Amino acid sequence: MEQKTKIKGKVHYVGVNDRTKALFEGLWPLPYGVSYNSYLIDDEKIALVDTVDICYFEVFLHKIRSVIGDRPIDYLIINHMEPDHSGSLSLIKQYYPNITIVGNKQTFGMVEGFYGITGEQLLIKNADPLDLGYHKLRFYLTPMVHWPETMMTFDETEGIIFSGDGFGAFGTLDGGFIDTRMNTDIFWEEMIRYYSNIVGKYGSAVQKALEKLAPLNITTICSTHGPVWTEQRGKVIDLYDRLSRYEGEEGVVIVYGTMYGNTEQMAEAIALELSAQGIKNIVLHNVNKSHSSYIISDIFKYKGLIIGSATYCNELYPEIGSLLPKILLRDMKNRYLGYFGSFCWSSAALRRMNEFAEKSKFEIVGEPVDMKISMDDLIYSQCENMGKAMADRLKQDRETSQD
């Protein structure tokens, strides 16, 4: 019987599922959990590609032994040093003392820094090969997808790209791990949320990596998180390509910070007008309830962004105040921005929003609206104007995309 761990050729899946952690990197909620994927190539020379979070070492070791028994591992290829993947490195070294660590010149300083393991072992440069027997590997340096040492390993024999965090998604692998043997529905949204929050700042690095990969005949994507992609690999590459070019779909995210609901009425008025103008993708986020990772994810998805904030102690509403730097941090491009504020005795939120608008690279759409205390006819029509201006701007792009 063929081993259930097998992917293709002599490559096996030996990753683990984490259904315990509440927040990935201490920041990102994991409603569907997360997998730490590792791959074992059981060839004439045996190679392990990345490890897993240290909490899962026992499970990991058991999986490795179910494939190779007591035989030693020749190489540990480190595509990425973030501890969700390198966490089991020093234990692997204890169990397999003769293993050769394969990395680039950025890798070994981190191996020493994190784990006290010194010395370069097998230092590779971009496009260097490694022959395992049947599988012929080649390494591609892809710095900043997600860290400076990040690289990808391509198996030229079977067309498998071991892509590190690239093409990763949140979500555990429940049963099957190959896209053809599972329901992949949840992974698309979780891929956007993973990409936008974790890799999102490094769009140009992802574009460079995609250029390097373009000539390769890829049949299978083995990322460090989420499914192994075979049949649906085209959709995955296309999604990463669009996200890393900051190319949004037609649609608007309206994020607002409110205590008593007056600012929310402005958001509702804008949304109603957008809908009346024929915009279908409209997402409202009350910043008190939506975790920022979902808001950032939707901002990556849609071209239109409208932000509103009540004034709070002569400042932005605190949760909006913490969201704006998260948006700036990700260096997003090609977005249309509208904004509004509210106050009771002295306006401050709108002033801060003006500052944000200047710092962002976004195209400002419509006239900012500032509301004193509560909605009246004038403010309502100003909100409608903002909705109309945003809808018009988005519809203008429809026309250019048809040309």
Ligand X SMILES: Cc1cc2nc3c(=O)[nH]c(=O)nc-3n(C[C@H](O)[C@H](O)[C@H](O)COP(=O)(O)O)c2cc1C
Q: Give min distance, CB of 195 to Fe ion, in A.
A: 12
Question: Which CB sits closer to ligand X, 144 or 348?
Answer: 348
Question: Which CB sits closer to ligand X, 169 or 379?
Answer: 379
* Rounded Cα gap, residues 159 and 268, in angstroms: 50
Pick from ligand X, Fe ion, none: which does 82 bind, CB < 5 to 8 A by kind? Fe ion
Closest by Cα among 272, 308, 259 to 380: 272
Q: Site for ligand X (CB under 6 A): which residue of 311, 336, 350, 386?
A: 311
Q: Site for ligand X (CB under 6 A): which residue of 312, 321, 354, 388?
A: 312
Q: Site for ligand X (CB under 6 A): which residue of 261, 363, 367, 396?
A: 261
Q: Give min distance, CB of 307 to ligand X, in A.
A: 13
Report if residue 313 touches ligand X, rule: CB under 6 A.
Answer: yes
Judged by CB under 6 A, the chain residues 339 through 378 that form the site for ligand X are: 342-346, 348, 373
Q: Site for Fe ion (CB under 5 A): which residue of 42, 43, 74, 84?
A: 84
Element (H, E) at 99: none
Question: Which CB sits closer to ligand X, 122 or 259?
Answer: 259
Tokens coding 58: 């026992």
Pick from ligand X, Fe ion, none: which does 84 bind, CB < 5 to 8 A by kind? Fe ion
Q: What DSSP string runs through 281-332?
A: -EEEEETTTS-HHHHHHHHHHEEEEEEEEEEETTEE-HHHHHHHHHHHHTT-
Q: Site for Fe ion (CB under 5 A): which residue of 50, 165, 179, 384?
A: 165
* Rounded Cα gap, residues 251 and 254, in angstroms: 10
Q: Classify 352 as helix, strand or coil.
A: helix
* Rounded Cα gap, residues 368 and 35, in angstroms: 43
Tokens coding 229: 């992609």
Report if residue 262 touches ligand X, rule: CB under 6 A.
Answer: yes
Closest by Cα among 248, 341, 330, 265 to 292: 330
Q: Which residues bind ligand X (CB under 6 A)?
A: 258-264, 310-314, 342-346, 348, 373
